[in-house]
């Protein structure tokens, strides 16, 4: 109270001297800007003309300032909003995190790293910047100016050039295609492969290559080749290109015969089949007196003329290659094997027998050949027949024409049927035992288990 009375007296003396009224904060002196006393309640006083102290009520702005002074800063994650600059109320990120942050320091942009590689230490620069040096104009007055190099680099006209494959490359691709065709037998797939591959002037190589490859294969592959030529006619090849392909084969027939001795006979079959399929005109086969043909080529055309002149008509030419492989009935294959063995027993020609067995194209049915040969041996009751059949078995085993599994399966079929065979051949057991001992002495193509399982009466 003593302090308040002193302040009032001081204010009164200043008023008498012409001073202006002074606004006093409760709890502070004149002109004090310190914080309000906790007991003062934040009430300000104004000294009037009569020297009495008047109180000023608190307004709403003063209440807001009070609350703002006691407000505490709350930390927030940098992911929730944009970080501010140091010193602002929303700057809460630690210095290390702020240092390693890839966001913009000035608050602009999306905070993404620079793209394009146009700057920085140890970089090559923006892609395409290496062409800047080429775009610089060259000075013709430069002593090192090369007029020839300048003209060669500025007066250039580019043209598209499609490289054409050579004949050897085309032949190699055609051989691969026809060998794959022998596996799947789909002519449409071959046509699709040839549409974009062949240059216009090399279409005669289709007939030449396909037939040349088929000459080195079996009858079934030759039948597939004739079907392929017929299906490609009108889509890939024409009548002229087929005739041109046969002309190439006739001209090289002497060289083809080195690998295929019966090439004139086979080529004549191909020409006759092409005429029957309406791929080439009949006059091509009948024109065998041309001067540009040698004797082998003329023989091939004579063979084609003979087939076309048969009284049965051209319909029988559909079977010019026969029916090969497993497409034939079992009775037909068995009958052909019987004829083959009878011919061998008369001629004793092992090479001819091997060739005939290969032409059957039934490696899965060779056990029937072994069975029929043993039955013939038992029925003949002749030592010379036993020797011939034993030599045939040894040759077939050494040349791998007949596999050991097929050989053993044929013998075991005879073992199983001995009870029925002995009814027709009373001495079948003794003849079989003697024949197996002869085969055992001739070679090791019979297994020990097969020899131990010889049936006895």
Model pLDDT, residue 384 = 93
Model pLDDT, residue 17 = 44
pLDDT at 11 over 70: no
pLDDT at 256 over 70: yes
pLDDT at 409 over 90: yes
Model pLDDT, residue 395 = 94
User: Which fold is adopted by the domain 330-453?
Assistant: 1.25.40
Of 443, 335, 447, which is closest to residue 390 (Cα–Cα)? 443
Tell me the percentage of the chain whose pLDDT exceeds 70.
67
* 8 Å CB contact between 126 and 117: yes
How would residue 158 be classed by pLDDT, with cut points 50, 70 and 90? confident
pLDDT at 96 over 60: no
pLDDT at 28 over 70: no
Of 195, 207, 218, which is closest to residue 171 (Cα–Cα)? 207
Class of domain 167-319: mainly alpha
Model pLDDT, residue 444 = 82
- 91 compared with 300, residue with greater pLDDT: 300
**In angstroms, rounded to a whole number, what is the distance separating the alpha carbons of residues 154 and 225?**
56
Of 395, 380, 375, 396, which is closest to residue 346 (Cα–Cα)? 380
**Non-local CB neighbours of 397 within 8 Å, separated by 6+ positions:** 404, 407, 443, 445
pLDDT at 321 over 80: yes
Please state, rounded to an integer, the average pLDDT across all residues of the chain. Answer: 77
Model pLDDT, residue 1 = 41
* 8 Å CB contact between 391 and 373: no
CA angle 223, 358, 438 (to 5 degrees): 165
How would residue 132 be classed by pLDDT, with cut points 50, 70 and 90? low
- Most confident segment among 26-35, 124-133, 423-432: 423-432
How would residue 304 be classed by pLDDT, with cut points 50, 70 and 90? very high
**In angstroms, rounded to a whole number, what is the distance separating the alpha carbons of residues 424 and 393?**
24
Q: Which tens digits make up the pLDDT trace of 238-253? A: 999 999 999 999 999 9
pLDDT at 79 over 60: no
* 8 Å CB contact between 71 and 64: no
Q: Which residues of 342-376 are buried (b: 16+ CB within 10 A; e: fewer)?
A: eebbeeeebeebbebbeebbbeebbbbbbbbbbbb
pLDDT at 208 over 80: yes
**In angstroms, rounded to a whole number, what is the distance separating the alpha carbons of residues 270 and 320?**
9
pLDDT at 139 over 60: yes
**In angstroms, rounded to a whole number, what is the distance separating the alpha carbons of residues 133 and 199?**
43
How would residue 299 be classed by pLDDT, with cut points 50, 70 and 90? very high
Model pLDDT, residue 62 = 53
Q: DSSP code of 349?
A: -
Identify the H or E element spanning 56: strand 53-56
Q: Indicate the pTM of the whole model.
A: 0.51
Q: Which range (49-58, 111-120, 422-431) has the least confidence?
A: 49-58
Handedness of CA 10, 13, 17, 18 (dihedral sign): positive
pLDDT at 163 over 70: yes
Q: Which tens digits make up the pLDDT trace of 329-341? A: 888 889 999 999 9
What mean pLDDT do residues 347-372 have? 91
pLDDT at 21 over 50: no
Q: Which range (1-15, 219-233, 292-306, 368-382) has the least confidence?
A: 1-15
Backbone φ and ψ of 128, nearest 5°: 100, -10
Q: Which tens digits make up the pLDDT trace of 286-297? A: 987 888 888 999
Model pLDDT, residue 10 = 47
Model pLDDT, residue 20 = 44
**Common-topology check for domains 167-319 and 330-453:** yes
What is the rounded (10 degree) CA torsion for 29, 33, 38, 42?
A: 90
Q: Which tens digits make up the pLDDT trace of 259-279? A: 999 999 999 999 999 999 999
- Most confident segment among 186-195, 288-297, 323-332: 186-195
pLDDT at 4 over 60: no
Model pLDDT, residue 19 = 42
- The domain limits of the chain are 167-319, 330-453
Tell me the percentage of the chain whose pLDDT exceeds 90.
46
* 8 Å CB contact between 435 and 392: no
- 6 compared with 173, residue with greater pLDDT: 173
pLDDT at 373 over 70: yes
How would residue 114 be classed by pLDDT, with cut points 50, 70 and 90? low
Q: To which residue do tokens 């006895």 refer?
A: 456
């Amino acid at each position: 109270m003593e302090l308040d009375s002193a302040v009032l007296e001081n204010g009164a003396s200043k008023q008498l001297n012409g001073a202006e009224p002074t606004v006093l904060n409760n709890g502070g002196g004149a002109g004090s800007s310190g914080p309000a006393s906790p007991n003062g309640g934040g009430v300000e006083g104004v000294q009037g003309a009569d020297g009495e102290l008047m109180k000023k009520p608190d307004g709403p702005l003063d209440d807001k300032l009070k609350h703002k002074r006691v407000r505490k800063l709350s930390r927030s994650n940098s992911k929730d909003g944009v970080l501010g600059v140091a010193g602002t109320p929303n700057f809460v990120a630690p210095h290390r995190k702020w240092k390693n942050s890839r966001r913009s320091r000035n608050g602009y942009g999306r905070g993404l790293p620079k793209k394009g590689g146009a700057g920085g230490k140890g970089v090559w620069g923006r892609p395409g910047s290496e062409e800047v040096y080429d775009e610089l104009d060259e000075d013709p007055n430069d002593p090192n100016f090369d007029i020839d190099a300048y003209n060669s680099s500025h007066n250039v006209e580019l043209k598209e050039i499609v490289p054409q494959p050579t004949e050897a490359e085309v032949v190699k691709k055609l051989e691969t295609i026809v060998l794959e065709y022998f596996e799947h037998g789909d002519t449409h797939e071959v046509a699709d492969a040839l549409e974009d591959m062949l240059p216009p002037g090399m279409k005669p190589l289709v007939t030449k290559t396909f037939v040349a490859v088929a000459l080195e294969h079996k009858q079934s592959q030759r039948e597939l080749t004739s079907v392929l030529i017929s299906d490609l006619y009108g889509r890939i090849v024409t009548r002229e290109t087929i005739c041109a392909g046969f002309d190439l084969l006739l001209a090289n027939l002497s060289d083809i015969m080195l690998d295929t001795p019966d090439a004139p006979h086979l080529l004549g079959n191909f020409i006759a089949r092409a005429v029957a399929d309406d791929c080439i005109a009949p006059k091509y086969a009948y024109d065998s007196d041309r001067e540009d043909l040698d004797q082998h080529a003329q023989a091939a055309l004579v063979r084609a003329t003979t087939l076309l002149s048969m009284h049965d008509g051209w319909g029988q030419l559909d079977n010019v290659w026969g029916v090969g492989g497993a497409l034939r009935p079992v009775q037909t294959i068995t009958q052909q094997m019987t004829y083959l063995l009878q011919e061998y027993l008369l001629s004793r020609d092992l090479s001819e027998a091997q060739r005939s067995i290969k032409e059957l194209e039934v490696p899965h049915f060779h056990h029937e050949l072994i069975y029929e040969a043993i039955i013939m041996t038992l029925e003949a009751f002749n030592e010379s027949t036993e020797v011939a059949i034993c030599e045939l078995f040894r040759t077939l085993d050494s040349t791998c024409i007949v596999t050991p599994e097929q050989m053993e399966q044929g013998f075991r079929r005879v073992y199983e049927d001995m009870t029925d065979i002995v009814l027709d051949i009373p001495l079948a057991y003794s003849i079989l035992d003697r024949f197996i001992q002869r085969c055992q002495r001739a070679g090791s193509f019979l297994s020990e288990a097969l020899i131990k399982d010889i049936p006895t009466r």
